[in-house]
């Protein structure tokens, strides 16, 4: 039986890296609207001590000291890539069978629902059925 687990960790950073491969392995953060707060950070930025949700002005010295690349959010890009990921999941599930591709999660205590606009027409998982993955 074939299956896959999809984990879009650091999704916005990953989207930026698609078009800038030089960013792979480097600390990267993406900021909220008006470049206010960190809303996505690479593993390298996490290791450098950049916290999620913190205003940029509070970590500017840390960002500069570690050479963290900073990006303004690009929701149109992220939405487009998210749609492509869901299309790929749909194709695999249609080809290989229901529940072939699953989503991974870490540490969510609250109920989760995919936004209807992003939910695949072949959405096959229930949050309670998902595997818990820890690195």
At 98-115, the pLDDT tens digits run: 666 665 444 444 444 444
Residue ranges making up the domain that contains 70: 11-75
Percent of the chain with pLDDT over 90: 44
Q: Give the pLDDT confidence score for residue 43 in this predicted structure.
A: 93
Same domain, 90 and 111: yes
Same domain, 60 and 90: no
pLDDT band at 133 (very low <50, low <70, confident <90, very high): very low
CATH number at residue 17: 3.40.1170.60
Give helix 75-96 / helix 11-19 axis angle, nearest 10°: 100
Beta-bridge partner residues of 40: 30
pTM over 0.85: no
Residue 51 lies in a domain: yes
Same domain, 98 and 53: no
Burial of 1 by CB count in 10 Å (0-12 exposed, 13-18 middle, 19+ buried)? exposed
- Number of domains within the chain: 2
Query: Is the CB of residue 82 less than 8 Å from the CB of residue 11?
Result: yes
Residue 41 lies in a domain: yes
Does 35 have pLDDT greater than 70?
Answer: yes
Q: Give the pLDDT confidence score for residue 4 in this predicted structure.
A: 62
Pick the more confident residue, 92 or 84.
84
Strands 28-31 and 38-41: antiparallel
Pick the more confident residue, 113 or 97.
97
**What radius of gyration, in Å, describes the C-alpha atoms of the chain?**
17
At 46-90, the pLDDT tens digits run: 999 999 999 999 999 999 999 999 999 999 999 998 888 888 877
Same domain, 71 and 100: no
Same domain, 28 and 53: yes
Q: Is 20 left (phi over 0), alpha (psi -120 to 50) or beta?
A: beta
Query: Is the CB of residue 11 less than 8 Å from the CB of residue 80?
Result: no
Distances 96 to 78, 90, 103 between C-alpha atoms, Å:
27, 10, 16
């Amino acid at each position: 039986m074939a299956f896959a687990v999809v984990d879009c960790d650091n999704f916005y950073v990953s989207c930026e890296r698609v078009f800038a491969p030089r960013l792979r392995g480097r600390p990267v953060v993406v900021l909220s609207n008006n470049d206010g707060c960190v809303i996505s950070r690479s593993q390298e930025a996490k290791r450098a001590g950049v916290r999620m949700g913190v205003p940029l002005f509070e970590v500017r010295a840390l960002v500069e000291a570690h050479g963290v690349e900073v990006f303004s959010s690009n929701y149109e890009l992220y939405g487009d890539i998210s749609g492509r990921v869901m299309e790929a999941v749909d194709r695999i599930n249609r080809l290989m069978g229901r529940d072939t591709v699953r989503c991974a999660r870490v540490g969510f205590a609250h109920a989760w629902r995919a936004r209807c606009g992003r939910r695949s027409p072949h959405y096959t998982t229930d949050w309670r059925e998902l595997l818990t993955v820890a690195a």
